A and B are shown apart, each in its own frame.
Chain A
Amino acid sequence: MNFTSNGEPLFEQIVNKIRGYIDAGVYAPDEKLPSVREFAASMSVNPKTVVRAYEILEQEGVLYSLQKKGYYVSPKQNRPNKLAEFKKMLEHFSKQLTKEEMLRAIEDMEADT
């Protein structure tokens, strides 16, 4: 496992970096990301670390891959919509918990992290 000074594993840093690029519009839906080899060379990391990051993002639906061609940004509708997921979760819990109980549960979750 490769860590850098802020304690986050290298592959996770790369995952977040790529997410940032996509959110900022650097890479558009269906646009191809740099090849594993080139990206690894530009960041001076092991290609295996880049593969790991790309595969994680593919699993999340942020990227898709074409055999022998590389990794591409998923079209917007295929990407997990975090806001919609959160709204669904709130609706589900508001049926079972009071507002006070929900706030307490969130505080408990915060204390754990």
Chain B
Amino acid sequence: MIEIKHLKKYYDKTLALTIDSLAIENNHVLGLVGTNGSGKSTLLRLIAGVLTQEEGEIALDGISVKDHPECKKDLLYISDDPIDHVNTSIDSLFLFYSVFYGMTREKLNAYLDYFSIPHSGNLSKFSKGMRRRTYLAIALAVEPKILLLDEAFDGLDPTGKKAFILALSELIERNDMTVIVASHSIRELENLCDSYLMLQEGKVITYAPEGLNGEDFTKIGVAFKDSFDFTKLSSPKAILVSHIDKIGTLFFEGTKEEAEAYLAPFAPAVTEFTPLSAEEYFILKTEEHKHD
């Protein structure tokens, strides 16, 4: 279990990240979403102990990361751009990681086979996807209790991504793992994450601890018989996405019934409901935050 309280991280005098309270259970995957520079990597680095916060506490199973760095032996952090690939062989990588973590060569080789990566070779000769899969093979072979992945799927094709999620799912169940996956694309994380934390400019703009239920928000297409002032439709719960001529699109935070009740006074000629995708939800939340 990861617990974060009153966290503040500064780069020089700038507040780069602030999180008041967050708890992540075992057997759980948290999706960390945000644009570049939103603070995702900073958060992962703070949990991993690569960076230290100026204020607040991060605890793994009750033990403070700052005060007891040895509690990190069950935590593995894979950054979005591991720089050691420049001229590293798989053998060296294995040696490096096995100093800090328990991992057998047989297990690593089995996962390398699983991802169709040769057992030896220099990473500088690998494609981006192959390098990514090599690090993911290491992540699985180490079997950490806590796994932090920054832009995990960057460079992976759909087959590689599915293969990884399949293998990871088995480990999460078996070892009661906690996983945090950071991505700028929430669409990538759909179907994998149990909960989502969305960051923007170092602040939490939304936290969905139960995941994203497609029925909590709807996308509505409306059309009117006569010309219509669509700005009338905007409200805290309804965001006007686009409109042209007599046709418009809204994001509505609420159920279909609530949306129907909301639109009734305007009497649209046509109303069409589609569930919001996770990506559209993220855009909605980002827009809402901009207006705050």
Question: Across the interface, which residues of B come within 8 angstroms of A41, CB to CB?
Answer: 162, 165-166, 168-169, 191-192
Bound-complex Cα distance A50 to B215 (A): 16
Whether B169 and A1, one on each chain, are in contact in the complex, defined by CB atoms closer than 8 angstroms, is: no
A107 to chain B, nearest CB (A): 36
Whether B191 and A40, one on each chain, are in contact in the complex, defined by CB atoms closer than 8 angstroms, is: yes
Question: Across the interface, which residues of A come within 8 angstroms of B172, CB to CB?
Answer: 37
Bound-complex Cα distance A41 to B164 (A): 9
A38 and B213 in contact, given A1-B275, A44-B191, A46-B191 (Cβ under 8 angstroms): no
Question: Across the interface, which residues of A come within 8 angstroms of B211, CB to CB?
Answer: 48
The number of A-B residue pairs with CB atoms under 8 Å apart is 32
Bound-complex Cα distance A47 to B170 (A): 14
B72 to chain A, nearest CB (A): 25
Question: Across the interface, which residues of A come within 8 angstroms of B165, CB to CB?
Answer: 41
Question: Across the interface, which residues of B come within 8 angstroms of A45, CB to CB?
Answer: 191
Bound-complex Cα distance A35 to B213 (A): 20
Chain A residue, CB-CB nearest to B167: A41
Whether A48 and B213, one on each chain, are in contact in the complex, defined by CB atoms closer than 8 angstroms, is: yes
A6 at the interface (CB under 8 A from B): no
Whether B166 and A42, one on each chain, are in contact in the complex, defined by CB atoms closer than 8 angstroms, is: yes
A61 to chain B, nearest CB (A): 25
Whether B191 and A38, one on each chain, are in contact in the complex, defined by CB atoms closer than 8 angstroms, is: no
A35 and B166 in contact, given A1-B275, A44-B191, A47-B194 (Cβ under 8 angstroms): no
Bound-complex Cα distance A103 to B214 (A): 44
Q: Binary interface profile of A, 35-76, with partner B (CB < 8 Å = 1, else 0)?
A: 101101110111110000000000000000000000000000
Bound-complex Cα distance A94 to B144 (A): 65
Bound-complex Cα distance A41 to B169 (A): 7
Bound-complex Cα distance A44 to B170 (A): 14
Within 8 A of A (CB), among B148-169: 162, 165-166, 168-169
Chain A residue, CB-CB nearest to B275: A1
A71 to chain B, nearest CB (A): 13
Bound-complex Cα distance A38 to B192 (A): 10
Q: Binary interface profile of B, 179-208, with partner A (CB < 8 Å = 1, else 0)?
A: 000000000001110100000000000000
Question: Across the interface, which residues of B come within 8 angstroms of A2, CB to CB?
Answer: 214
Question: Across the interface, which residues of A come within 8 angstroms of B214, CB to CB?
Answer: 1-2
B195 to chain A, nearest CB (A): 12
B70 at the interface (CB under 8 A from A): no
Can you list the 4 inter-chain pairs with the closest CB atoms, starting with the nearest?
Answer: A41-B169, A37-B169, A38-B169, A35-B173
Question: Could you tell me which B residues sit within 8 Å of A by CB distance?
Answer: 162, 165-166, 168-170, 172-173, 190-192, 194, 211, 213-215, 275
Question: Could you tell me which A residues sit within 8 Å of B by CB distance?
Answer: 1-2, 35, 37-38, 40-42, 44-48
